[in-house]
């Protein structure tokens, strides 16, 4: 097994300088409402997904996750794509769940409808998923990054779970995965062997 496979199979939090550009090569992006999707690399074999809700600091909403899940599944099925990079903006990777979308949802409805269940589909992707974080990764944004196989954290990256200050718990299950003793990357190693 080569060293790159070792890195992907082990949970790594790496740092890159704010000036580092992970977008060295480019193809034209597809049109989505909440995402910018491109392929990069010499052979267009790296899928790049950028969360694109800048006015809301990339707050996570159901519509964004529907797009993200569809794109991730397409990239997972694309034999040319070898890895997927998920990123946000300089200011925010993702500032958590869109509270405006969730404010009127009652617990009984959220429980019956499995309201956030599809938010964890990223953990089912077989290819390495790398979170490139520079800026805020809070609440659901922090969990989204933790569900990726590798986190590249920039100089301005800031991780946190501020929802605990208002009496709620992290909802997207990333912490539960960690609490089970299996890190997301270890789980991906199990599913890819």
**Residue 97 annotated to the active site:** yes
Residue of 83, 92, 97, 157 marked catalytic: 97
Strand order across the 136-138 sheet: 92-94, 136-138, 158-160
Give Cα 88 distance to the centre of its chain.
Answer: 9
- What does the alpha-carbon distance between residue 94 and residue 8 come to, in Å, rounded to a whole number? 23
**Residue 96 annotated to the active site:** no
- Is residue 164 classed as helix, strand or coil in its secondary structure? helix
- What does the alpha-carbon distance between residue 153 and residue 87 come to, in Å, rounded to a whole number? 10
**Residue 117 annotated to the active site:** no
Residue of 41, 163, 172, 174 marked catalytic: 163
- What does the alpha-carbon distance between residue 84 and residue 65 come to, in Å, rounded to a whole number? 16
Residue of 41, 96, 140, 141 marked catalytic: 140
Cβ–Cβ < 8 Å for 47, 35: no
**Residue 29 annotated to the active site:** no
Residue of 143, 145, 157, 174 marked catalytic: 143
Active site residues: 97, 140, 143, 163
């Amino acid at each position: 097994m080569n060293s790159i496979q070792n890195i992907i199979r082990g949970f790594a939090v790496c740092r890159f300088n704010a000036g580092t550009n992970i977008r060295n090569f480019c193809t034209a992006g597809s049109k989505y409402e909440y995402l910018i999707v491109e392929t990069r690399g010499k052979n267009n074999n790296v899928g790049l997904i950028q969360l694109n809700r800048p006015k809301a600091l990339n707050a996570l909403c159901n519509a964004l996750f529907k797009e993200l899940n569809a794109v991730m599944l397409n990239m997972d099925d694309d034999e040319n794509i070898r890895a997927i990079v998920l990123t946000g903006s300089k200011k925010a990777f993702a500032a958590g769940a869109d509270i405006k979308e969730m404010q009127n949802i009652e617990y009984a409805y959220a429980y019956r409808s499995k309201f956030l269940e599809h938010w964890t589909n990223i953990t089912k992707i077989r290819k390495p998923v790398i979170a490139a974080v520079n800026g805020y990764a809070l609440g659901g944004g922090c969990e989204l990054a933790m569900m990726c196989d590798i986190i590249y954290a920039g100089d301005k990256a800031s991780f946190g779970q501020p929802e605990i200050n208002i009496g709620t718990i992290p909802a997207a299950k990333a912490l539960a995965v960690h609490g089970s003793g299996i890190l997301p990357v270890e789980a991906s190693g199990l599913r890819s062997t």
